[in-house]
Amino acid sequence: MDNEYLKPLPAPDHLTAPFWDGCKANKLLLQRCKQCSTSQFPPGPLCTKCRSAELEWSEASGKAKVYSWIVVRHPIPADVYKDEVPYVVALVDLDEGPRMSTNIVDCVPESIKDGMPVEVAFKQVSDAITLPLFRPAK
């Protein structure tokens, strides 16, 4: 782990802390509605489908498919991202339904394809934060 992680980090709040605690334990947790069983991300106070406030945390499979992506080749800000480029920023559709923004890692950017199966790969970046990244499914 890099103790001098200089990139922006998420700031967990009362709605998102369970998600980040899950990542820290290498579990991808999603809110699931007790009324209609819809899984949602990002976390919110109500179900985005039926407006129920009865939500529970449920561990996701960690499996997803690539929906869209870009390859970042010019680091901004240059000082903290210069060793990262090229890197991939992507939207992935989780098997449970929600779409999540992430990075695709452990592959060359040119190998990424629309609909490609990917799986979560947790990366601890500070004592408090572990990021849910995705890599090609094995």
Q: Within positions 39 to 78, which residues make up the interface with Zn ion, using CB under 5 A?
A: 47, 49-50, 52
Choose one: 17-25, 30-38, 101-109, 111-119; the region binding Zn ion (CB under 5 A).
30-38
What is the smallest separation between the CB atom of 38 and Zn ion, expressed in angstroms? 5
Instruction: Give me the 101-120 binding string for Zn ion, x by CB under 5 A, dash otherwise.
Output: --------------------
Q: Specify burial of residue 23 (Cβ count, 10 A radius: 0-12, 13-18, 19+).
A: buried
Kindly determine how many residues on this chain lie close enough to bind Zn ion according to the rule CB under 5 A. 8
Query: To the nearest whole angstrom, how small is the minimum distance from the Cβ of residue 48 to Zn ion?
Result: 8
Q: Which two tokens stand for residue 17?
A: 């802390």
CB 79 within 8 A of CB 131: no
Beta bridge partners of 39: 32
Percent helix / strand / coil, the chain, rounded to 5: 10, 35, 50
Give the chain's end-to-end CA distance (angstroms, integer).
24
Q: Which of 15, 36, 53, 89 binds Zn ion (CB under 5 A)?
A: 36
Among the listed residues 35, 61, 68, 101, the single contact to Zn ion using CB under 5 A: 35
Which residues here bind Zn ion, judged by CB under 5 A? 33, 35-36, 38, 47, 49-50, 52
